[in-house]
Structure 1
């Protein structure tokens, strides 16, 4: 945390009372929580700010379930880094306690203090990688002394080493690494088919089972990289935006050479996330026509069509179509899948286990109405159709892993496995 570090961290309950706290510097007074109550708890939600300053003390806070985590610092701290630490601390505590809330903190005072002392020293972040912390802060009390000594040795190496997220001496009987490229498509389409908003949110996740201290290099079909090196490509190139990396990635290498090189943590981790703000046609297009609407019944015709290549298949497709709040007596007919009425959500759900590319299916639905008309009967048409799906071996952006090189000084051969998945994000189609 460049510049000034944190003075103290507080965990407060919903009423602003301290559950647990750690004062790292002795710079702040005992009335900190009173000021927090006045500035946050007693104000209207619209006026509340996540950062505020009072008398040279800066308050930065997040809310998790029924608790507030508050960091305070004198002077002018690096607020972005403080928030980054708070969210990282939330992840670590959640990993230890499964659920971070008032009760779990009260039940784990000893571990909480140990974590607060190891994750931050004199107000500066130290160890934030949960795998390293778990090497020596264990939830079980009765650990063999020899096991504890080994853990402490691994810890000292990890903390003093540049690679703080990976201890020395890792051995696996079979060296392999799994890489998943997962893209979520956010889409809003008008009833006549015009795409009003489309966005791709991508994540590259890895599971690493590699011995020793391996060096990895990942190559993508990155447009900026090809432009920097003056190369050309016959395949599609993509322009990634808002890229965020795990701390293991060498940022200076990426900035100067556009190379993604890193020493991976052991086990599962999120290597990077990215975004593409690009125009994408609907992968699954749904059209809903109300064929008949009388005082006694309503009839629907729902058409669903896939607009991706025939060799790909969308799995577990669910199409949510809104219905009036007072319908009854549902009758469904479809040439594929199953349909069910979900009264508590005022919708029907058409479930198709496998929907191949370049296919079209139809579904008809009929509902009855009670004799007394509900006031909100017409509101159903303003609720957009929602679609859920997952398409394996497919990316909507066209991103490709060109190579994944693994080099370790012992010279072992490792197997990389790459998988692509496209899923729905906030995927909505407006009704006629």
Structure 2
């Protein structure tokens, strides 16, 4: 259990707002001072961790933008660290939802906390009681706490969701208060929509690393998730069925189900039964390691050659790629980044040849646009979409580039240097000292990827609509019945009498008095995307 929840400024660690839950504390200002001293000490010695023990007190903190969310606890052996860190992240998500911070990567702003201290205190009272986490469901809290949010002038523009909330009734639904302590705490009662729709997105992210020199796949991983956006009335129980043959390839240890999934029935039934939260949620996420299948975008060949064109030496490159899907027109936003070509080693005069900056490089491709980025020395081939269906009949597409060369032994040609003279070299002792320190920091920094690899990689980004890389499909999504606790319904209980009771759900609903009072309109969309790392390493 936690004794104190505090929000501190990340810049100087000064407390912005705090809430005390127990009476066994020394003065709170002393605890904050001890945390500041311990934090700065560990930061100076480069031993900083999210959990700090000092004088019998445990400090757990998470940084979010300009603030630190801090929990102060007594008794190190009795602390459930995983539970408390989960609570911190839940609290961060709740505040982001209230402040309408749509970007997940963005953190909390100091101005939000100072301008909404009354809202923060209300949240502190609801999410924790006597140091024990209580209610952390955003949907329930928004129906209980309806204080107006003060947004700083530099905050993001109002979104459609915020404008929708501003016109809602400010009265608290009494069923919400009952739902906070019921079995189904993530969905309040009394929800009504004139048209009952649910939007399902099955999205997969592909990570691929191929060594073109050895012609081997170093890494081929798939991360997938099923996202929901629910606009359904009442308390519906839904069942979704995924393709079982593909589901068997997914490691069950990497399968993460949402809180609202009936886990007991999932172990005894191939379908997934769940009561969806209102609005956005994630049904499940999964990961497939060492997936054995051809890449969606495959580099067939990449070649360079020096040719004599109109009495001038030119370096020609050709890239051929293959899209390994039947309907290639489903590809959108393809971007292929190539390094500046290197001179081939089989040329006899290779040591005397250099790129001629007087001539712009030339590019040719039937699809998309090709540009050269001088800041990174990379070729960018972008294909926004395929406008015709002829691409479905073509196996491979290609792009060629041409760079002018000159003999560097020729002094007159060697004087050209982008139209300006280079700045004079500094040779003062102070400059050498500063420059050596910068070089040392760059060598010690190992957070960035290897420059040798990044310079010799073909990086690919893409979006593939209406298909998944693993082939996972949603066979059906249906509404089974409405959950009614007052009629004896129990969540997470397996029927013992008939193992095939799920196939007779409609008859059971009629006999027990349940009635499917509306028609469900499901909208399902598939998408495969490249992850942060989808590269082909060159020789």
TM range (shorter): 0.7 to 0.9
* Map of 2:13 onto structure 1: 16
Partner residue of 1:269 out of 268, 275, 281: 281
2:92 maps to which residue? 90
Residues 108-151 of structure 1: per-residue CA shift (max 9 Å, x gap): 2111221222122222222222222222323438999x9444x2
CA displacement 1:145-201 (0-9 Å, x = unmatched): x9444x241431221322121111111111121211100001111124421011111
Matches within 5 A, 1:306-345: 306-310=323-327, 313-323=330-340, 329-345=360-376
Asked if the contact 1:236–1:398 (Cα under 8 Å) also holds between the matched residues in 2, the reply is: no
Q: Please tell me whether the aligned partners of residues 136 and 148 of structure 1 are also in contact (alpha carbons under 8 angstroms).
A: no
- Aligned residue for 1:349, secondary structure, equals strand
Q: Which residue of 1 aligns with 2:487?
A: none
**CA offsets per residue over residues 36-91 of structure 1, 9 Å max, x none?**
33333332585211223233322222111122211122223211121111112111
RMSD value, Cα: 3.2
Q: Provide the secondary structure at the position in 2 that maps to 1:135.
A: helix
Q: Which of 2, 5, 14 is 1:6 aligned to?
A: 2
Matches within 5 A, 1:133-172: 133-140=141-148, 147-149=169-171, 151-172=172-193
Instruction: Kindly state the Cα deviation for residue 293 of structure 1 after the two structures are TM-superposed.
Output: 11
1:302 & 1:46 partners in 2: Cα distance? 46
Q: After TM superposition, give the deviation of residue 394 of structure 1 in Å.
A: 0.9
User: Match of 1:33?
Assistant: 32
Report the Cα distance in structure 2 between the residues aligned to 1:399 and 1:214, rounded to whole angstroms.
25
- For 2:90 and 2:381, the matched residues in 1 are separated by 39
Higher helix share: 2
- Which structure shows the bigger proportion of residues in strand conformation? 1
Mapped contact 2:241–2:270 kept (Cα < 8 A): no
The answer to whether 1:291 aligns with 2:305 is yes
Distance 1:366 1:113, change over 3 A: farther
Match of 1:400 in 2: 473
**Structure having the higher Rg:** 2
**Secondary structure, in 3 states, of the residue corresponding to 2:192?**
coil
Tell me the secondary structure at the aligned position of residue 144 of structure 2.
coil
SS at match of 2:318: strand
Aligned mate of 1:189, from 210, 232, 244: 210
**How far, CA to CA, are the matches of 1:221 and 1:66 in structure 2?**
45
Correspondence for 1:127 among 135, 139, 142: 135
Alignment correspondent of 1:226? none
Q: Does 1:352 align with 2:414?
A: no
Distance 1:132 1:201, change over 3 A: same
Determine if contact 1:324/1:346 at 8 Å carries over to the other structure: no
Q: Who is 2:509 aligned against?
A: none
User: Could you list the runs of 5+ residues in structure 2 that have no partner in the other structure?
Assistant: 102-106, 151-164, 343-354, 406-413, 423-450, 483-513
CA 1:186 to 1:161, structure 2 compared with 1: closer, same or farther past 3 Å?
Answer: same
Q: 1:276 to 1:27 in 2, by over 3 A?
A: farther
Deviation digits for residues 376-417 of structure 1 (CA, Å, limit 9, x no counterpart): xx9687342211111111111121223322123441221222
Where do 5+ consecutive residues of structure 1 fail to align? 224-234
Change (3 A) 1:238 1:399: farther
Q: Residue 299 of structure 1: CA displacement?
A: 4.3
Residues 100 and 410 of structure 1: CA distance in aligned 2, closer, same or farther (over 3 Å): farther
Q: 1:383 to 1:416 in 2, by over 3 A?
A: same
TM-score by length of structure 2 reads: 0.69
* Count of aligned pairs between the two proteins: 412
1:51 aligns with 2:51: yes
When structure 1 is superposed on structure 2, of 389-398 and 129-138 the one drifting more is 129-138
**CA distance in structure 1 between the aligned counterparts of 2:183 and 2:18, rounded to whole angstroms:** 30
Is residue 206 from structure 1 mapped to residue 236 from structure 2 by the alignment? no
Secondary structure, in 3 states, of the residue corresponding to 1:111?
A: helix
> Are 2:115 and 1:107 equivalent residues in the alignment?
yes
Q: Deviations over 1:229-287 (max 9, x none)?
A: xxxxxx88432441222221123333454652211111221111111113343210234
C-alpha separation in 2, matches of 1:159 and 1:327: 71
